[in-house]
Amino acid sequence: DGGITQSPKYLFRKEGQNVTLSCEQNLNHDAMYWYRQDPGQGLRLIYYSQIVNDFQKGDIAEGYSVSREKKESFPLTVTSAQKNPTAFYLCASRNIGQGRGSSTDTQYFGPGTRLTVL
Amino acid sequence: SQQGEEDPQALSIQEGENATMNCSYKTSINNLQWYRQNSGRGLVHLILIRSNEREKHSGRLRVTLDTSKKSSSLLITASRAADTASYFCATDGGANSKLTFGKGITLSVRP
């Protein structure tokens, strides 16, 4: 799982509540990503950030929010507007390489947080 | 949207056999990567192949890329029970440093 930590490992939420998932990396990577994984659907990109204080929506950003106040931290908030939040959430980071196809094109993943709505 | 599509969705083999997994994609890429995921864990990067490469090896892994057919294959030779996991291909189109993942292949290696 490299130098990326996610907490908590398991999270339970009541309907209507906002919850925040933590992601921290000590790899000095520029870019950070949040993915959602559902059974049979692989990974879908929620939000990503390439630099501090800037982030972009991914494919399924509705009902989620993020912040990037520090290089090493990229917390994800699952809001009450997310209609089906039960899923496995994965955070990743990457050092934006100088050249195409460089080894820094790989992403390093955290261990994940499993969110269950009760 | 998911660009990579892996084939087969599930694969069960005997220990010692070779496992071949395929991935197809739709648009041009800078590189294609394969990742592994053990149940309930994060993904681990296995191997990256660039768009100007045709074949690459890493230990028991061999990956090929055919950009004319927009497809890649991952071969695991002499499989072990510990290779049991889900395998994902991911394409890097070079735009905004995003990866697009397929749905994954579940590999079971029987001891």
pLDDT in tens, A99-118: 554 446 789 999 999 999 98
Interchain CB distance below 8 Å, A106 and B30 = no
Mean pLDDT confidence for B59-64: 98
Per-residue confidence (pLDDT) for residue A42, from 0 to 100: 87
Q: How many CB atoms are located within 10 Å of the residue A115 CB? A: 21
Which of A41-45, B31-35, B93-97 has the highest average model confidence (pLDDT)? Answer: B31-35
Per-residue confidence (pLDDT) for residue B97, from 0 to 100: 67
Can you give B33-100 as a three-state secondary structure string? EEEEECCCCCEEEEEEEECCCCEEEECCEEEEEECCCCEEEEEECCCCHHHCEEEEEEEECCCCCCEE
Per-residue confidence (pLDDT) for residue A49, from 0 to 100: 96
Q: Is the Cβ of B43 closer than 8 Å to some Cβ of chain A?
A: yes
Q: Which residues of chain A have pLDDT under 50?
A: 1, 101-103
Chain B residues near residue A112 by CB distance under 8 angstroms: 40-42
Per-residue confidence (pLDDT) for residue A118, from 0 to 100: 86
- B77/B4 Cα distance (integer angstroms): 23
Per-residue confidence (pLDDT) for residue A103, from 0 to 100: 47
Residue A66's alpha-carbon distances to A21, A40, A90, in angstroms, are 10, 26, 14
CA distance A88 to chain B (A): 8
CA distance B44 to chain A (A): 7
